[in-house]
Amino acid sequence: MPPSDTPEAPKDAAAEPAPDVVTEKGVPTQKGDAPKGGPAAELPHGGAPGIRFEKVVKRFGSNVVLRELDFTVAPGERVTLIGPSGSGKTTILRLLMTLEALDEGVIWIGDETLWHMERGGKRVPAGQKHLHEMRKQVGMVFQQFNLFPNMNVLRNLTEGPVRVLGVSKDEAVERAKGLLDLVGLADKENAHPTQLSGGQQQRVAIARALAMQPKVLLLDEVTSALDPELVVGVQDLLRDIARQSDLTMLCVTHEMAFAKDISNRVLMFDQGQIVEEGPPDQIFGEPSEQRTRDFLQAVLAS
Amino acid sequence: MTWDWQYSGDILPDLLSGLRYTVIATLAGYVIAIVLGLVWTLLRRTPSRVFNQTIRWITEFIRSTPLIPQLYFVFFVLPAWGITIGSLTAGIITLGVHYSTYTAEVYRAGIADVPKGQWEACTALNLPRSRVWLDVILPQAIRRVIPTLGNYLIAMFKDSPMLLAINVAELLFSAYQVGSRSLQFLEPITIVGLLFVVVSVISSILVRRLERRYATI
């Protein structure tokens, strides 16, 4: 059963609004033309899938983190998830990256289910092979960077393309250099992660995620572990990437100004459910829910 | 009892030949210990719980029994089943297998020490299982445990005299033999002690150097 009632592409996008194309299956997939040359050449273009959560439940022991959560992200849409800690935002990203297993419900990426596959007309839990295929569409940047300390920067960027995508070593190196150029670290290809500042490490981590040519990019509090003076640089980079690519992006952040810049839509979470959603101007400017107002006040005060 | 320098000089070649066997047995046993230890650790992480537990109990059993009965078992009991091995080989194998159950624990701790984020990054990059282990986890885990593994080399060296139980002509065995011939034990046994100290101190310096080199990732 393919997802229905996908929302229209958001109209308030700061950059180019993403045009939806409805495929025969009735599932929106985005069409885009890859620009030739220029810095954006390294970034993925076209075919970004939408995402849809259907009655998703996630528990940790007796603690229910997500309660029958429903939401949809349009192809190429950039959505920021805000809310108090423990509200389930990060869990949503971790479910999409298959770092946590789904308890109940269905997650769609495009017209395919992430955690289920069809067998004999029935929907059964996905095997490793299915998960491997589905993960190819998704990339993630972590709060703690998680670069491989035993490899230099270049190898961090080529490991995945060579081992997973089957790209030749030369081509992977070439692309990696292009990506390092994009994130402003062209001179650091031989450095080891420990020799880099937090901000530089996070730029490498962003480049590493992009090297896998994902169509969905997950950003999990990517500036929370950075010294204040390094935050802006990483945010500017992500803003450029958002502007120059048509990735579907899900972003968990406590930086409200960044959320406002980067996203088409903001979802306010509390206790595993969406309290309020809307364009950033509305959520940050005139939130209608008391819980949203309280949360924003608390964040701005800190 | 006074120290006899003349006698000391006479027995030194015999003792040094014993030391040769001690060093050979230790080094060869060590190679077995560090390779087999890693094998144990990886065998404990298969998808089969029953298999993992079986491996766990086998290693637990070997680790919890003393080295000398194990030497006796390999050298005296196995031949009854048609497996006859020379004393030096038996000593090397037993020493290696015995210590592999210790190094297995070292590797296990090293793997557990690799941050969870490394595994998650591997999943996010979709790396296949073999690559996760070979390219990411093991290089980091082994680097962390190199100093500890080095200490086991010294520990094995100090345990090697037990090989005299199965007549390996190692250092202490040689000292015992020359002492029995002349009934003068002061010199041979003292020299044994000194030789052990010399080799141990040299090894410790090397291990400390390794430690400094690999202390940080």
Radius of gyration of chain A, Cα coordinates, nearest whole angstrom = 19
Average pLDDT, chain B: 92
pLDDT at B154 over 70: yes
CA dihedral A176, A182, A186, A191 (to 10 degrees): -60
Whether residue A149 and residue B120 make contact (CB cut-off 8 A), yes or no, is: no
Shortest Cα–Cα distance, A72 to chain B (Å): 22
B127 chain-A contacts, CB cut-off 8 A: 159-160, 163-164
- Taking only residues 122 to 141 of chain B, the set having a beta carbon closer than 8 angstroms to any beta carbon of chain A reads 123-128, 131, 135-136, 139-140
Q: Count other C-beta atoms under 10 Å from residue B60's C-beta.
A: 12
Q: Are strands A28-30 and A20-22 parallel, antiparallel or unpaired?
A: antiparallel
pLDDT at A180 over 50: yes
B128 chain-A contacts, CB cut-off 8 A: 132, 163-164
The per-residue pLDDT for range A128-172, each reduced to its tens digit, is 999 999 999 999 999 999 999 999 999 999 999 999 999 999 999
Task: Please name the fold of domain A20-137+214-301.
Answer: Rossmann fold (3.40.50)
pLDDT for A120 equals 86
Alpha carbon distances (Å) from A93 to A83, A142, A245, B116, B122:
14, 10, 20, 16, 16
B143 chain-A contacts, CB cut-off 8 A: 150
3-state class (DSSP) for residue B205: helix
pLDDT at B159 over 50: yes
Q: What is the DSSP-derived secondary structure letter of residue B133?
A: I
Shortest Cα–Cα distance, A301 to chain B (Å): 31
| Domain extent listing, chain A | 20-137+214-301, 148-207
pLDDT for A44 equals 64
Averaged pLDDT, B40-54: 94
Q: What is the pTM of this model?
A: 0.84
Cross-strand partners of A21:
A29
Averaged pLDDT, A189-212: 95
Beta carbons of A24 and A18 less than 8 angstroms apart: no
What is the per-residue DSSP string for A149-216? TTS-HHHHHHHHIIIII---HHHHHHHHHHHHHHTT-GGGTT--GGGS-HHHHHHHHHHHHHHT--SE
pLDDT for A40 equals 53
Mean pLDDT is lowest, of A24-33, A43-52, A116-125, A197-206, for A24-33
3-state class (DSSP) for residue A119: strand
Distance CA B30, CA A249 (A): 52
Could you list the residue range(s) of the whole structural domain that residue B178 is in? 5-214
In three-state form (DSSP H/G/I as H, E/B as E, the rest C), the secondary structure along A228-287 is HHHHHHHHHHHHHHHHHCCCEEEEECCCHHHHHHHCCEEEEEECCEEEEEECHHHHHHCC
Q: Which of A139, A142, A159 sits opposite B135 (nearest CB)?
A: A159
pLDDT band at A4 (very low <50, low <70, confident <90, very high): very low
The count of domains in chain B is 1
Residue of A nearest to B118 (CA): A146
The per-residue pLDDT for range A41-85, each reduced to its tens digit, is 566 666 789 999 999 999 999 999 999 999 999 999 999 999 998
CA B200 from centre of chain: 14
Which CATH number fits the domain that encloses residue B172?
Answer: 1.10.3720.10
A150 chain-B contacts, CB cut-off 8 A: 136, 139-140, 143, 217
pLDDT at B36 over 50: yes
Q: How many CB pairs lie under 8 A apart between chains A and B?
A: 64
Residues 6+ apart with CB under 8 A from A279: A10, A12, A264, A265, A266
Averaged pLDDT, B148-161: 92
Cross-strand partners of A124:
A117
Q: Count other C-beta atoms under 10 Å from residue A240's C-beta.
A: 15
- Max CA separation in chain B (angstroms): 73
Q: What is the DSSP-derived secondary structure letter of residue A78?
A: E
Averaged pLDDT, B41-55: 94
Q: Are strands A63-73 and A51-60 parallel, antiparallel or unpaired?
A: antiparallel
Average pLDDT, chain A: 86
pLDDT band at B147 (very low <50, low <70, confident <90, very high): confident
Shortest Cα–Cα distance, A287 to chain B (Å): 34
The per-residue pLDDT for range B160-189, each reduced to its tens digit, is 999 999 988 889 999 999 999 989 899 999
Residue of B nearest to A130 (CA): B126
Distance CA A32, CA A153 (A): 30
